[in-house]
Amino acid sequence: MKRHYTILVVDDEPSMREVLRLRLGQWGFEVAVAASASEAEALAAKASLDLVLCDVVLPDGSGLDLLPKLRGDSAPRPVIMITAHGSIDAAVEAVKRGARDFLTKPLDYTKLKAVLDDAVSEVEQRSSLKRLEETLAKGSGLGPLIGDSKPMLDLYELIDVLAGSDASALITGESGTGKELVAHAIHDRSRRASGPFVAVNAAAIPEGLMESELFGNEKGAFTGAVSARPGCFELANRGTLFLDEIAEMPAPLQPKFLRTLENGRVRRLGGATENAFDVRLLAATNRVPEEAVRDGLLRADLYYRLNVFTLVLPPLRERKEDVPLLVQHFVGLFNRKHGASAAGVRPDVLALLQAYPWPGNVRELRNVIERAVILARAGWIELSHLPPYVRRPDDAGEDLRLPAGLTLAEAEKVLILQTLKEADQNKAEAARRLGLDVKTIRNKLKQYGLDGR
Ligand SMILES: Nc1ncnc2c1ncn2[C@@H]1O[C@H](COP(=O)(O)OP(=O)(O)OP(=O)(O)O)[C@@H](O)[C@H]1O
Ligand SMILES: [Mg+2]
């Protein structure tokens, strides 16, 4: 037991109270005693009681009627009833009315110890849950970002610096680490907050449409241009343009993009005039930018323009202390979304969640918790609510043995291919396990020269 828990013993028999006071004291409890229902009721009104041991037959009433008062309503405390030998009906009724357990007289102390240990672990779980919820309620991150680990606190500081400036920035980090959320946070705290936040994902737009997406087009500028459309610079005017997966922007378009950005004026495809815009650019990539430059995916001049500030988001496995808060945050989120009332995760489950390496980072954790909330619906999230590969990372498949000296990109490739193999080449399933978008997997496969469809 981490701290001394206070237990209330309610019994009218003085010898019984004394025996229990001694025993429970030996087991590390603070013991309070009451000889009657009215005395017990007065003590139970105080929040400092953690659990209750209560006789059913009391001189001034029934322990059963007292039960609701003993439990209290906000955070119900465990109440264990003691019934006379043979009074099964009273025991059944007690459990029906919310008693945690019942014991019969004469007391079996081994059994009592086991029941109390169990109740204490419930109390411990509730109080750690309460602490998490209090931390979440008073704000445990920055805007929508959850986490109070050192790397996240450093990140929040940088976000604030960036929010106060108008400089371009490049946000890097593995998939699912929260790059888009960070871009939002910067925008929301900047002087542009009342302006638009326009997100463009260079990996999601078909290559042929990219140019008009970026720069806009006049009607009839190309086959299929049935109407005039503003590009993202115009759409983001007086706001923030978030260019996601910038290294996937076709290389031939990058010089024009950079020129447009620097001029602050854009000419739509097929257009005759230039429109001025006032846009702050935030870009993101889950590649290592220097490698993307070296591989000819990202033009150096564009990279230098973006690299005024670089925010590197830490992978979740490097800030496991954030896992409990994130879990509780997502439990709340998905309770609301699915009309569920899961309480939280049991300590053994939390230990597993902290041990798992989260290759798909926060997105993967989010998916795992959504699934668990749906399965659990109410009560605690148990081991059985976790997907098997999180539950038993050891036999999730073959161990990946990577020779030192492999580049990150090469290691990523091995992991993706191995996951695909274990998912029977099902890209959607592999994407889910890795916490990636299917489209990201397809793009990667294409890059590897494998079929990406
Ligand atoms: N610190 C965080 N707190 C709360 N939620 C987070 C955090 N980081 C990420 N998320 C959530 O995880 C998911 C993935 O985040 P996001 O889309 O920002 O990642 P990303 O880095 O842009 O990933 P990708 O490279 O795959 O596009 C989102 O649902 C986001 O809300
Ligand atoms: Mg993203």
What distance lies between CA 374 and its chain's CA centroid? Answer: 15
Instruction: Evaluate whether residue 453 is within a structural domain.
Output: no
Instruction: Evaluate whether residue 177 is within a structural domain.
Output: yes
**Residue of 158, 172, 197, 363 to test ligand 1 pocket, by largest number of atoms within 8 Å of CB:** 363
Mean pLDDT across 129-147:
88
The more confidently predicted of residues 437 and 450 is 437
Are 372 and 443 part of one and the same domain?
no
Are 111 and 59 part of one and the same domain?
yes
CATH number, position 436: 1.10.10
Are 105 and 22 part of one and the same domain?
yes
**In the beta sheet, which residues pair with residue 381?**
345
Each residue of 151-168: pLDDT tens digit?
999 999 999 999 999 999
Is residue 177 in contact with ligand 1, taking CB distance under 6 Å? yes
Mean pLDDT across 177-201:
96
Instruction: Evaluate whether residue 90 is within a structural domain.
Output: yes
Which pLDDT value is given to residue 31? 95
Is residue 314 in contact with ligand 1, taking CB distance under 6 Å? no
Each residue of 322-368: pLDDT tens digit?
999 999 999 999 999 999 999 999 888 999 999 999 999 999 999 99
Mean pLDDT across 79-92:
82
Give every CB contact of residue 105 below 8 A, 6+ residues apart in sequence: 82, 83, 84, 85
- How much distance in Å is there from the Cα of 315 to the middle of ligand 1? 11
Which pLDDT value is given to residue 423? 80
Mean pLDDT across 131-135:
88
Mean pLDDT highest for which of 89-98, 236-245, 431-440? 236-245
Instruction: Evaluate whether residue 128 is within a structural domain.
Output: yes
pLDDT greater than 90 at residue 269 = yes
Instruction: Evaluate whether residue 1 is within a structural domain.
Output: no
Are 170 and 287 part of one and the same domain?
yes
CATH number, position 223: 3.40.50.300
Residue with structure tokens 């209330």? 8
Rounded Cα–Cα distance for residues 203 and 9 (Å): 65
Are 71 and 164 part of one and the same domain?
no
Residue nearest ligand 1's atom 23 by CA: 176
Phi, psi values for residue 343, rounded to 5°: -80, -40
Are 160 and 276 part of one and the same domain?
yes
CATH number, position 351: 1.10.8.60
Which pLDDT value is given to residue 106? 87
Are 182 and 324 part of one and the same domain?
no
- How much distance in Å is there from the Cα of 327 to the middle of ligand 1? 14
Choosing from 137, 163, 198, the residue where a domain stops is 137
Are 156 and 284 part of one and the same domain?
yes
Are 93 and 196 part of one and the same domain?
no
Residue nearest ligand 1's atom 7 by CA: 178
445 confidence band (pLDDT: 50, 70, 90): confident
**Residue of 180, 181, 313, 331 to test ligand 1 pocket, by largest number of atoms within 8 Å of CB:** 181
Q: How many domains does the chain have?
A: 4
Which pLDDT value is given to residue 96? 87
Which pLDDT value is given to residue 414? 82
Instruction: Evaluate whether residue 239 is within a structural domain.
Output: yes
Instruction: Evaluate whether residue 159 is within a structural domain.
Output: yes
Instruction: Evaluate whether residue 400 is within a structural domain.
Output: no
Are 300 and 415 part of one and the same domain?
no
**Residue of 140, 180, 437 to test ligand 1 pocket, by largest number of atoms within 8 Å of CB:** 180
Closest-lying ligand to the alpha carbon of 437?
A: 1
Is residue 366 in contact with ligand 1, taking CB distance under 6 Å? yes
Domain housing 414: 408-447
The answer to whether 358 and 315 have CB atoms below 8 angstroms apart is yes
397 confidence band (pLDDT: 50, 70, 90): low
pLDDT greater than 90 at residue 36 = yes
Which pLDDT value is given to residue 453? 60
Are 99 and 152 part of one and the same domain?
no
313 confidence band (pLDDT: 50, 70, 90): very high
Ligand 1 atom closest to the CA of 366, numbered from 1: 12
Are 294 and 338 part of one and the same domain?
no
Choosing from 279, 312, 345, the residue where a domain stops is 312
Which pLDDT value is given to residue 393? 57
Each residue of 204-245: pLDDT tens digit?
998 889 999 999 999 988 888 889 999 999 999 999 999 999
Choosing from 262, 295, 312, the residue where a domain stops is 312
Which pLDDT value is given to residue 237? 97
CATH number, position 17: 3.40.50.2300
